Every structure is written in C-alpha cells, then in structure tokens.
Amino acid sequence: MNPLKVLVVDDEPVARAGITALLARESDVVVVGECGDGRSAASAIQELHPDLVLLDVQMPELNGFEVIEAVGPRRMPPVVFVTAYDQFALKAFDVHALDYLLKPFDDERFVEAIARVRRAIQQGRMGDLTSRLESLLQTDPPPGRYLDRIVVRKASGAVFVPVDEIDWIEAADYCARIHSRGKVHVIRETMQRLEQRLDPNRFFRVHRSGIVNLDRVREMQPAPHGDHLLILQDGTKIRLSRGRKAALEERLGQPL
C-alpha cells in the first residue's frame, strides 16, 4: 500500500506542529505540506493532490468550508475537520465529513481518525465522500458562522469577493449577480441560499430578487405603489418592496 499523503492546514503554528508530530508516528503517512491559511490551502490541494487534508475550520483568508468551495467538492480529497466548534455545531460535521477532531483532542482520538481514513480509502468510498462535501456546501452555516467572502469561479481559476465589499446582489435567472466596488460577478447560486449564508445583521432581502448590504445604504425615498427606494452610497437605487418595509424596521429596531 502506498504511503498516505497528508496536507496539514491550521492557522496556529503550534497546532500544525502537534499534528505533524502525531503523523510522524504513523509508518505509512507522509506529510506533503503545511498551510496556515485557507487561500494557500486551496492552492496546495490543487498542486500537491494529497490523499487526505486535516483541515481547520476557523482560519483567515478562507475558512474550511470556503476552501472546499474554492477547490470544488468533486476535486477535494478526503477531509478530517480540525475544529474548536462546540458539540452542537459538530453535528453537521458528523454527517458531512469523513471525521472530525475537536480541539483539544488526545492521541487516541487522532489515531482513530487516521484509521477511519485508511478504511474509507481501502473500501473505495470516495464517491460517497464527494456527495457528503457537496451536501455540506448546501446546508446552513453552523451557528454564528456566515460567509466572510464569496468564491466566484472563472475559467482561469477563482476570484474571492469579501462580503465587506459587496454593495448589493440581484437575481439573474438561475444565477446571482454580485455588485462589488463597481464590478459585477456572476455565480450560480439562488437568492434564498445566499440569504441563508450571509449575516442577517448586515444583509437584508429587500424584495424577491434583491439583497442589500445595509452598511451601503445612504438614505430611503418614497416610491409609487407604496414601495420605497434605498439609495446606496454610490447612488444606486434599489427598490424596497412595501411588504419588506416592516421587516426592515424590525431589523433596524426603529421606524422608517
């Protein structure tokens, strides 16, 4: 049996060193690389083609979920999540990941996770794992965790759009058009799904086909038929439907 090629991804140097030391005890394991952030991890996965990724969830640049999205579930090797999330949030990982390690974990739990990976590879269960990762990207984020950036796939690779830079989003058939800093990015995603994955304290569904970053709203003006217009900082006018005005007042905690 060929050695198991492992990529270790964690933004904490001490954690990476500890995981690497544990892997060194496994005679049939080779550490092919270490990454301290999600962006470099996505590149390393595509360049090194590891058999297994030990993937931290909470990281700068891209979090663990966004790494999977950037690489693509069908090109992603088996994943063991390494996380400090609580037991409630870990229920999602239990369904979608090959395994997970809850920080701090002991040596015995680590050995068990590696053994589970070996069994999955030997039994040819990679197709099942791909389905799990695809399903993971379609579920709601764990409590208190929303997108930090949106991955826009291009023919030449991928563009990472920080949510802080998004002005508004509009529906376009089966896609969504993201307006950010004067540029428009198109992704194949539904408005409902985006609404679920964006922080509701910052992003608001103004009508069926529009989501606005509330930090970009400069003023509101009345419009015909009981609707209103939200004027963004760059002058863009976005319709606020009559039925959504009350919801916006509730969100802001004050009348409009």
181 and 226 within one domain: yes
Domains identified in the chain, total number: 2
121 and 15 within one domain: yes
CATH at 199: 2.40.50.1020
> Within a domain: residue 143?
no
Provide the pLDDT for residue 143: 47
132 and 8 within one domain: yes
178 and 115 within one domain: no
Domain enclosing residue 113, as ranges:
4-136
155 and 132 within one domain: no
Alpha carbon distance 46, 95 (integer Å) = 25
Tens of pLDDT along the chain (256 residues) come to 688 899 999 988 988 999 999 999 988 899 999 999 988 999 999 999 999 999 988 887 678 888 888 888 788 888 888 887 655 445 555 555 677 787 778 899 899 988 888 888 777 666 666 676 777 666 655 544 688 888 887 777 778 899 999 999 999 887 899 999 999 999 888 888 788 889 988 999 999 899 999 999 999 998 888 889 999 999 999 999 888 888 888 888 888 8
153 and 83 within one domain: no
> Within a domain: residue 92?
yes
Alpha carbon distance 186, 198 (integer Å) = 17
Last residue of a domain, one of 136, 158, 174: 136
Is residue 198 within 8 A of residue 210, CB to CB? The reply is no
166 and 106 within one domain: no
> Within a domain: residue 144?
no
Cα three-residue angle 198-201-203, rounded to 5 degrees: 50
Provide the pLDDT for residue 139: 60
Which residue type is seen at 180? S
Residues 17-22: contacts with CB within 8 Å, 24+ apart? 19/54, 19/82, 19/110, 22/107, 22/110, 22/111
Provide the pLDDT for residue 158: 79
79 and 36 within one domain: yes
| The pair of three-digit structure tokens given for residue 66, joined into one six-digit string | 């966004």
Peptide bond into 104 cis (omega under 30): yes
70 and 35 within one domain: yes
> Within a domain: residue 79?
yes
130 and 63 within one domain: yes
Last residue of a domain, one of 77, 110, 136: 136
Provide the pLDDT for residue 119: 84
CATH at 92: 3.40.50.2300
Q: What are phi and psi of 221, to 5 degrees?
A: -130, 150
